[in-house]
Amino acid sequence: MWRQIFSVIIGAILLPTFLLADDSLWVQIEAQPSLLEAEDRARKYAVRLPNVHAFSLGSGWYAIAVGPFTQDEIELEYQNLRNTLEIPFDSFISTGDNFRQKIWPSGPETAESTDTPSATNIFSQTVEKIEGYDLSAIDRSEDETLDQARKSESILDRSAKKELQRALQWAGYYSSSIDGMFGTGTRNSMKQWQNANQFPATGVLSTLQRNILIMQYDYILTELGIEKITDLQTGVVINLPMGVLEFSHYDPPLAHFKAIDGGPQAAYVISQKGDRAALRALYRALQTLSLLPPDGSRKLLDDSFSISGQNSQITSFAQAFLSQGEIKGYILVWPVADDIRRKRLLGNIKNSFETISGALDPTLADGKTQEIDALFGLELRQPLFSRSGIFATDEGYVITDAAALEQCDEITIRPNFKAKILNPDNEADFAILAPEGRLVPLSVAQFARMPLGINDQVISAGYSYQGRLDLPSITKGTADEMRGLEGREDIIRLSIPAMKGDVGGPILNQSGAVSGLLLDSSAGPRSLPKNVHLALNSQEIIDQLASLGIFVQTYSGQNPIEDVLLAKHARSITALVNCWKD
């Protein structure tokens, strides 16, 4: 059975001028301590946002909110508003229980003040033919009379009335509550729709008119060829747009549906046996896929999860539920340029989703070659580039080579800690990365106070293969010169077979102290001979960090430690830094 992420029951509360719908949810933008300020702020938001309202909260405070939304709509709408920076960061989802009288716009319901559809109306031009109705050929004289329309309307249940309000809202004529209550605003919106579709503007829709309105509402999905899929392999019943998709294959725990024309559209049915641990593992695994970009909301509960993501090409949404030892759900991937249909389609999929007995057989994947860059038959999200870093503080601060980091839309420290550059405007050779979450490193580097000497043995630790291996590689080398090729005194010239992924990682002396940070030798105008690499010396790192108020551990000892312990320590202070491009 379809289950919703939110389980909110709101009692119907009759207020002086506003009737809150029993399933309405709101995005509360802000609160103001004066009526005049609240009205002014609401008007400003309404310039760029639809469905803005202001309510009294009591005690002299007033809330500004966007809505109402259904439980199915609220999370996506909230995330869209946040992602597009249309609302403040501290906005939140509200049931509206504390909303009292609506103070803006005035009146119990608000309709457009003109007789023409709004500028956002997707049916701003009359639909001449739809689902067998040729509007120009309809004999209006055979339509119901006003009395007959009232009678046929009176037998509609509340769900059907809400559906009509949603259709009117979608078409751009209605901007108030989806509550199934036909007040002034609903009647005015019906008149506007009737005018636009060449029917008498009575404010009561006849059976014929209701059918045409709902068909217009559904027309946006018609060419997608929505079909009810009952799949015994996955144990899922779901509506999918089979006019644009076709079944591809099973790759447990997913059934793949790909675009017929090779486009970005895709859908996946999730099905596997499992418990809460398996649900959490699947939640983490899906976020490594390229089809679920990191820019979006993430929510993990004991028995469900949801993931939304968006980049410049696609918008994706995944949802799964755990029930009776089975995890089932779906993923929808859709192009960003088709957001109107995507929202309608996603709502259709959500409402249709139900489960039957059985889960996808994991052996269906037997005999297939498993690609290291793929999971569940899908491409893993790949960074623009990866390099190494050094854990410099107990707070999880990482230092790395600063070259090319300006290209990154996002930087992460493995496993999945988003990080920001603390010194973006500094001309230092290295960048200081601060994780957004709490990151506790295995160990923290000690930076050498004693400089290296010519021919001293060193080791580097780094993710040579840019993350394809789980642990850093250890490479031995020697210090050839205590200055750079152009005479810089803060540079060490090394002879070491380092690779691209080692850049940014530590150069350690035989005592285990960090003597330098490996720089990207390919970033300059010249190609250096094989195994010639440069490192920023430790004293320069210590001094530059101190100038920014960051103080690190230092070490002046010279006692060598065993190779095995040296390698273990080097790995423990080395981080993997990923640069992501949307």
Question: Two tokens at 483?
Answer: 């200055």
CATH topology of domain 383-582: Thrombin, subunit H (2.40.10)
Beta 553-555 vs 446-448: how paired, if at all?
Answer: parallel
By three-state DSSP, how is residue 409 classified? coil
Q: CA-CA distance, 4 to 437, in Å (whole number)?
A: 29
Question: Two tokens at 294?
Answer: 């990191």
Question: Among 45, 77, 40, which Cα is nearest to 62's?
Answer: 40
| Domain spans in the chain, listed from the N-terminal domain onward | 25-104, 129-222, 226-379, 383-582
pLDDT for position 85 = 65
Q: Residue 72 belongs to what H/E stretch?
A: none
Q: CA-CA distance, 439 to 318, in Å (whole number)?
A: 27
pLDDT for position 416 = 74
Half-sphere exposure of 4 (CA within 13 A, CB side): 14
Task: Please give the full DSSP string across 148-177, using - where no structure is assigned.
Answer: HHHHHHHT--HHHHHHHHHHHHHTTSB-S-
Question: Among 574, 566, 569, which Cα is nearest to 510's?
Answer: 566
In 436-481, which residue ranges form alpha helices assigned H by DSSP? Answer: none
* C-alpha separations of 272 from 232, 235, 248, 327, 438 in Å: 13, 10, 18, 5, 32
Q: CA-CA distance, 210 to 44, in Å (whole number)?
A: 35
Torsion angles phi and psi, residue 110, rounded to 5: -125, 125
> What's the distance, CA 238 to chain centroid?
23
Residue with tokens 């065993």: 562
Facing residues of 200 across strands? none
DSSP 66: E
Q: Which amino acid is at 108?
A: P
Cα R_g (the chain), whole angstroms: 31
The Cα angle at residue 218 between residues 216 and 220, in degrees rounded to 5: 85
* Model confidence pLDDT, tens digit, residues 234-264: 999 999 999 999 999 999 999 999 999 999 9
- Give 46's contacts (C-beta < 8 A, 6+ positions apart): 52
Question: Two tokens at 108?
Answer: 């119990």
How many CB atoms neighbour CB 150 within 10 A? Answer: 13
CATH topology of domain 226-379: Protein Transport Mog1p; Chain A (3.40.1000)
DSSP 180: S
Question: Two tokens at 471?
Answer: 């642990």
Cβ contacts of 284-287, under 8 Å, gap ≥ 24: 285/375, 285/376, 286/318, 286/331, 287/416
How many CB atoms neighbour CB 523 within 10 A? Answer: 13
Q: Residue 373 belongs to what H/E stretch?
A: none
Whether a cis peptide bond, with omega within 30° of 0, leads into 105 is yes
* C-alpha separations of 399 from 498, 505, 550, 577 in Å: 18, 8, 11, 10
| Per-residue model confidence as pLDDT tens for the chain (582 residues) | 333 322 222 222 223 333 344 467 889 988 887 777 788 888 888 877 888 888 888 767 788 999 888 887 788 788 777 766 677 777 888 888 788 778 887 643 333 333 333 323 322 233 444 544 566 667 777 789 999 999 999 999 988 898 899 888 877 788 888 888 999 999 999 999 998 888 999 999 999 999 888 888 877 788 788 898 999 999 999 999 999 999 999 999 999 999 999 999 999 999 999 999 999 989 988 888 888 988 888 899 999 999 999 888 999 999 999 999 999 999 999 998 888 788 889 988 988 899 998 899 888 764 455 554 556 767 777 788 999 999 999 999 999 999 999 999 889 998 778 899 998 877 788 999 999 888 889 899 999 999 999 999 999 999 999 888 889 999 999 999 999 888 899 999 999 999 999 999 999 999 999 999 999 987 667 788 999 999 999 999 999 999 989 999 999 988 999 999 999 999 999 999 999 887
pLDDT for position 13 = 26
The Cα angle at residue 165 between residues 163 and 166, in degrees rounded to 5: 65
By three-state DSSP, how is residue 393 classified? coil
By three-state DSSP, how is residue 331 classified? strand
pLDDT for position 23 = 60
How many CB atoms neighbour CB 272 within 10 A? Answer: 20
DSSP 405: G
Q: CA-CA distance, 245 to 248, in Å (whole number)?
A: 9
Q: CA-CA distance, 423 to 392, in Å (whole number)?
A: 15
CATH topology of domain 129-222: Muramoyl-pentapeptide Carboxypeptidase; domain 1 (1.10.101)
Facing residues of 92 across strands? 28
Task: Please give the full DSSP string across 83-113, using - where no structure is assigned.
Answer: HTT-S-TT-EEE--TT--SEEESSSSS-B-S
- Through-space distance between the first and last CA atoms of the chain, rounded to whole angstroms: 36
Q: CA-CA distance, 295 to 83, in Å (whole number)?
A: 8
* Model confidence pLDDT, tens digit, residues 545-575: 999 899 999 999 889 999 999 999 999 999 9
Four-CA torsion 141, 142, 145, 146, nearest 10 degrees: -80
Question: Among 332, 339, 305, 273, which Cα is nearest to 77's?
Answer: 339
pLDDT for position 372 = 47
Q: Which amino acid is at 15?
A: L
Residue with tokens 């108030």: 176
Q: Per-residue b/e over 301-311, b at no fewer than 16 CB within 10 Å?
A: eeebbbbbbbb
